[in-house]
Amino acid sequence: MRRRLIQSTLAVVLVVIAVFGGSLVLVETRTISNSAQERVDSEALRLASIVDSRLLGDQSVDADALSGQVAPGQYAVIGIAGQKPIKVGTEPSGDVIHATATGEQGETVRVEEPRSVITREVGRTLLIIGLVALLAVVAAVLLAVRQANRLASPLTDLAETAERLGSGDPRPRHKRYGVPELDRVADVLDRSAERIARMLTAERRLAADASHQLRTPLTALSMRLEEITLTDDLHTVKEEANVALTQVERLTDVVERLLTNSRDPRTGSAVSFDLDEVIQQQIAEWRPAYRSAGRAIVSSGKRHLQAVGTPGAVAQVLAALIENSLMHGGGTVALRTRVTGNQAVVEVTDEGPGVPADLGARIFERTISGRNSTGIGLAVARDLAEADGGRLELLQSKPPVFGLFLSRTQPPKKPGEAEDGRTVR
C-alpha cells in the first residue's frame, strides 16, 4: 500500500510538472526570443540616432568613433552614401538575429547578434525550471512517504489488533490516528474486544463455577454408588439407589442453575418452601464426610420456617458454607435458624479459628481464600443468594458466623408476569 500511495502521488506530480513545466518552457523561450529581438531593434535605432547627430555636427563617422557605442557581443554595419560600409565589432558566425534602421540623413544601420545568446538564456531558464521541478519531485516524494506512513501504519495496527482478537487476546488498545475513517474502525474493534472479553470472562467463570459446584454432588453420588457395589442387601441397594437418583436430580438442577446464572443471574424462579427440609437434606449428605473427619454437624433454632427462593440454589449455598467449614473450620458445625423482621436467617458457624483479619469482607471475592483452595465457593454462593433476592454475609469473624438471609414473603408480581415467574404476552 505504501508503494502504491507513493507511486500514485509521484505520478500526479510528474504529470503536473510535465504539463505546466512544458508550457512554462515554451512561454519563456518565446519571451527570451522576443526580448532579444527587441534589444537588437533598440540598438539599431540608437546607433542610427548617434550617426545622425555626428553627421549633422560634421563629426567623423568611423569605426573608431563608434566602437564604444556597440554593446559587447554585437556587430554593426553602418552604410553612408558615398562611403564604404563601416563595420563595428566582431562579425558573428552561424545563425544571427538582426535589425536594420534608417537615419534621417539616409544612412542605414544594421545590428546583428549571435543566436547563441538566446540559446544560453534559454538553457539557464531550463536549468532553473529543472531544479524547481526536481525540488517539487523530492518534496512530493517526502510528502507521499509521510502520508503513506500515516495511512498504512494505522492499517497495520488495526490488522494486528484483529489478529490479537482472533488469537484470544481481547484487550482493547484505545489508540486513535486522527483519520476519521480509521478511527471508526478502531472504535468498532475496541467495542468488539470489550464484548469478547466479557464473553470470555463469562465462559471462564462458568467453567470455574461448574467445576466447583459439581465436585460435591459428584463426590456424594460416587459414595452412594460405592455403597451399592459393596452390599448384597436388596433393601439397602434400593435405598441407596433412590438417594443416588435424588442426587442426580440435584446435580441436574445445579447444571441448569449454573447455565441460567451465566445468561442472566436475575432469572431465578423463587417459590415458597420449607427451610427445614433443605437444611436436613444437607446435614444428611454431609454427615458422612464430617464423621470421617471426626467432627459433627448439627442444626438448631426455629423450626418449620417458610422461606422464598429456589430450593436448589439455597441447598447449593448451604453446601458451600458447610464445605467451607469442613475445609477451613474446626469442631462442630451448627446450622441455626431464626427470624428477623420479614426474613428467615440461616447461620452457619463452627469452632475453628475463624476468618483472618486481613481477609474480612473480601472473603466473598473470587480467588480470595484463606488456604490453598480455589476461592470460588463463597463467591458463587453469594451470587446464588442474590439471584434469589436474598443475601449472604459474614456476621462474625471469630468464631466464624455466616448468615444466609431469605425473604419470607413472595415479591409482588410484575405486570404481565404469570404465577411461575414467566412473562405472558
User: According to the model, what pLDDT value does residue 403 have?
Assistant: 93
Residues 111-137, mean pLDDT to the nearest whole number = 88
List, for residues 338-392, the tens digit of each pLDDT value: 999 899 999 999 998 888 777 766 777 765 555 545 445 677 788 888 877 888 9
Please list the alpha-helical segments (H only) found in 167-292: 180-230, 234-263, 275-292
Residues 19-33, mean pLDDT to the nearest whole number = 88
Q: Which three cell numbers stand for residue 302?
A: 426455629
How high is the mean pLDDT of the chain? 79
Other CB atoms within 10 Å distance of the CB of residue 256: 11
Q: Is the peptide bond before 399 cis (omega within 30 degrees of 0)?
A: yes
Most confident of the ranges 63-67, 139-143, 245-249: 139-143
User: According to the model, what pLDDT value does residue 337 have?
Assistant: 94
List, for residues 373-384, the tens digit of each pLDDT value: 544 567 778 888
User: According to the model, what pLDDT value does residue 415 have?
Assistant: 52
Residues 216-221, mean pLDDT to the nearest whole number = 68
Residues 219-236, mean pLDDT to the nearest whole number = 75
pTM of the model: 0.45
H or E element, residue 50? helix 2-56
User: According to the model, what pLDDT value does residue 367 have?
Assistant: 57
Give me Rg for the CA atoms of the chain. 53
Domains of the chain: 2-137 (3.30.450.250), 264-425 (3.30.565.10)
pLDDT band at 264 (very low <50, low <70, confident <90, very high): very low
User: According to the model, what pLDDT value does residue 265 have?
Assistant: 45
User: According to the model, what pLDDT value does residue 423 have?
Assistant: 46
CA distance linking residue 244 with residue 242, whole number of Å:
5
Percent of the chain with pLDDT over 90: 10
Residue 280 has pLDDT above 70, yes or no: yes
How big is the CA angle at 177 (ends 174 and 180), to the nearest 5 degrees? Answer: 100
CA distance linking residue 183 with residue 170, whole number of Å:
18
Residues 206-212, mean pLDDT to the nearest whole number = 61
CA distance linking residue 214 with residue 7, whole number of Å:
64
Is the pLDDT higher at 258 or at 124? 124
Residue 396 has pLDDT above 70, yes or no: yes
- Going by their DSSP bridges, the two strands 391-396 and 343-349 should be labelled as unpaired
pLDDT band at 28 (very low <50, low <70, confident <90, very high): confident
Residue 130 has pLDDT above 50, yes or no: yes
SS3 255: helix
